[in-house]
Amino acid sequence: MNEHENLKFPWLKNFPANFKWGTASSAYQVEGAYNEDGKGASIWDTFSNIPGNINNNETGNTACDQYHRYKEDIELMHQLGIDSYRFSISWPRLFPDGRPDHINPHGVKFYNSIVDDCRRFDIEPIITLFHWDLPQILEDQGGWFNPQTIDYFSAYAAWVSEHFSDRVTYYCTINEPQIISNLGYHIGVHAPGKHLDKERTVEIIHQLAHAHSKAVKAMRAVAKKDIKIGFASTGNLCYPSTTKSSSNDDMEAARIATFTTTEDNWMFCHQIFCDAVVLGKSADLRSIGLENWNDCDELCPPIDFIGINAYNGHEVRARRIDSSAPFSSNDGSANQMSYIIPEFVERGPGFPRTALKWPITPEMMNYGMRFIYDRYHLPIFICENGLSCNDSLFLDGKVHDPNRIDFLTRYLSELGKAIEAGAVIAGYMHWSFTDNFEWHSGYDERFGLVYVDYQSQKRIPKDSFWWYKDVIEEFGHSRH
Ligand code: GBH
């Protein structure tokens, strides 16, 4: 038996002892108390309270009521055994009108309590600064197009760093710039519900890159000790049809397909943000008819990790084109050129899918993370991974979710293969701890390890909760 073989979880391998096992959430999706104790309105408060925007006209006004129930929730996290909790701060709960001159003491007290309660249980808090809830008043003044928003964001970030860095080491600046711009400003199904054209939409991503970089610099300048900063990116990740061919053409094709900016993927690709803020160079935007960004050297202050939110990916195979160059070399032989064209493999009928009908593609966790690591050379945090299932209370009073356990086993097993291949993966934050407000899908979609009965706000750990607890106990040596 090899030393990595594990009898209890035979599929899970290679997780290092210092690997962080956690869960993730975001303020608007769990907190509720949307207008209590001096909180300012965010674009999501506005957007979800307009009839027609959200499934069943639901809102995040109450959500999981975590604002009032955080103690119970953190105790449950302790029971789960996680060693890190990624949550976001609601910018307008801290700074009701966005600008840094008026701070809300109730907001300060609330996030202090979350941080202190986590630490009491040895749970490392990972703070996300912006998970989509822009102060409404800033949106009214031009939102991310207004340079003042970027200044206010970095002032808010600096305040958080100064205030929390004695107790909090890990920070994500922005969650999913790709989704903010695409769903919020282009397709319009997320707040603020705009329908901008491609050029303006990409400009939002550019502005978010400025906000990120300015915040990173401001946070470092005032941190009381060494802090670790990253952000959370999302986008399509491809995996090869087969890795058996000796030339590994499919592997190369998958890598090319992952990072090539095209008309089909510009709204959902990693490189459009990550190349600028990590590598300091523009993704190729000419391929989608736009100018490249020429200020990327300002956008890439050193960061410590890259967060990846990973849900599904695409299978890709290579077509190799061998062509003779239109000229001959001196000896008269034709000059052979050969290149790879990536082809997306169609998903057949009955392809496995989650409740939201998102395809189940675990291989993405292996190849995708390796491609990301090869390109950016930063430790990777899986900042989100999970699925919605049609969870309900069974007659025995429990919530049985075998589909979630199988999904997670598959995804974590593939993640272990990425680690084996040399990708540095620092941790895994499961999305999500509790069921919560799933943006325009409302409460129909349940992503939690903990079931929430929204009528009573009762929390009921699902089978996957106990399964994850066992996994953490088995592999989470770091705390013992
Ligand atoms: C994250 O967004 C968010 O950060 C989080 O707040 C949210 O609750 C969570 O995911 C779950 O949605 O059409 O089948 O290819 C993730 C957004 C998920 C959007 C995957 C694109 C592709 C699905 N992305 N999705 S599919």
Higher per-residue confidence, 58 vs 330: 58
Give me the pLDDT at residue 326, please: 56
Give the confidence band of 230 by pLDDT, cuts at 50, 70, 90: very high
Give me the pLDDT at residue 480, please: 44
Do the strands 84-88 and 20-24 form a parallel or antiparallel pair, or are they unpaired? parallel
The string of DSSP codes covering 275-297 is: IIIIISS----GGGT-PPPS-GG
CB 333 within 8 A of CB 362: no
The reply to whether 4 falls in a domain is: no
Give me the pLDDT at residue 247, please: 65
Quote the domain boundaries for residue 400.
10-478
Alpha helix positions (H), 24-104: 27-30, 43-48, 66-80, 91-94
The alpha carbon of 192 and the centre of ligand 1 are apart by a number of angstroms equal to 17
Query: For 385-407, what is each residue's pLDDT tens digit?
Result: 999 999 999 999 999 999 999 99
Pocket test residue of 187, 190, 311 for ligand 1, highest count of atoms within 8 A of CB: 311
SS3 135: strand
The reply to whether 3 falls in a domain is: no
Give the confidence band of 1 by pLDDT, cuts at 50, 70, 90: very low
Query: For 279-300, what is each residue's pLDDT tens digit?
Result: 999 999 999 999 999 999 999 9
Of 330-344, 403-417, 418-432, where does mean pLDDT reach its minimum? 330-344
Do the strands 334-344 and 314-328 form a parallel or antiparallel pair, or are they unpaired? antiparallel
Atom of ligand 1 nearest to the CA of 432: 8
- 384 counts as catalytic: yes
- 346 counts as catalytic: no
Give me the pLDDT at residue 331, please: 55
Residue 285: closest CA among 177, 205, 353: 205
* Phi-psi group of 236: left, alpha or beta (phi > 0 → left; psi -120 to 50 → alpha; rest → beta): beta
CB 130 within 8 A of CB 26: no
Give me the pLDDT at residue 357, please: 98
The reply to whether 118 falls in a domain is: yes
Give the DSSP H/E element, type plus range, for residue 113: helix 105-120
Query: Over 60: is that where the pLDDT of 439 sits?
Result: yes
Task: Find the catalytic residue in 384, 414, 438, 445.
Answer: 384
**CA-to-CA distance for 219 and 304, rounded, in angstroms?**
13
CATH assignment at residue 334: 3.20.20.80
CB 345 within 8 A of CB 317: yes
* Chain position carrying tokens 């709204």: 267
**CA-to-CA distance for 95 and 101, rounded, in angstroms?**
8
Atom of ligand 1 nearest to the CA of 175: 4
Pocket test residue of 172, 344, 431 for ligand 1, highest count of atoms within 8 A of CB: 431
* Chain position carrying tokens 């040399």: 422
Give me the pLDDT at residue 274, please: 98
The alpha carbon of 346 and the centre of ligand 1 are apart by a number of angstroms equal to 21
- Number of compact structural domains in the chain: 1
**What radius of gyration do the chain's Cα atoms show?**
23
Task: Find the catalytic residue in 139, 176, 438, 445.
Answer: 176
Q: Whose CA is nearest to atom 13 of ligand 1?
A: 358
DSSP-assigned beta bridge partners for residue 84:
22, 124
Ligand 1 environment, Cβ below 6 A = 26, 29, 175-176, 179, 234, 309, 311-312, 358-359, 384, 431, 438, 447
